[in-house]
């Protein structure tokens, strides 16, 4: 599998081998925000609505698109 970050209506910004690499790029470049839904849970990371993450198979065919959230994460690892 291969993952790519796209600007909606535009071209690919970055292509990565893992979803974690895409989210690392997103966080490092300020393309996300945090959503707090429960006080006892860590915040969820939400992708900026101007962007989408697409998943491609090994042949380059689109498998899934528009991943917009990274579930609950431990922000101490940033």
pTM of the model: 0.73
Alpha-carbon gap, residue 54 to 66, rounded angstroms: 6
Is the CB of residue 49 less than 8 Å from the CB of residue 35?
Answer: no
pLDDT at 78 (0 to 100):
46
Sheet strands side by side (includes 12-16): 12-16, 2-7, 51-56, 62-67
Under DSSP, is residue 26 helix (H, G, I), strand (E, B) or coil?
Answer: helix
pLDDT tens sequence across 26-68 = 999 999 998 888 888 888 888 998 999 888 888 878 787 665 5
């Amino acid at each position: 599998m291969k993952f790519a970050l796209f600007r909606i209506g535009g071209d690919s910004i970055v292509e990565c081998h893992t979803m974690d690499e895409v989210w690392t790029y997103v966080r490092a470049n300020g393309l996300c925000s945090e959503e707090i839904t429960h006080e006892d849970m860590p915040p969820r990371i939400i992708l900026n609505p101007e962007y989408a993450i697409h998943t491609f198979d090994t042949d380059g065919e689109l498998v899934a698109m528009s991943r917009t959230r990274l579930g609950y994460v431990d922000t101490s690892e940033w």
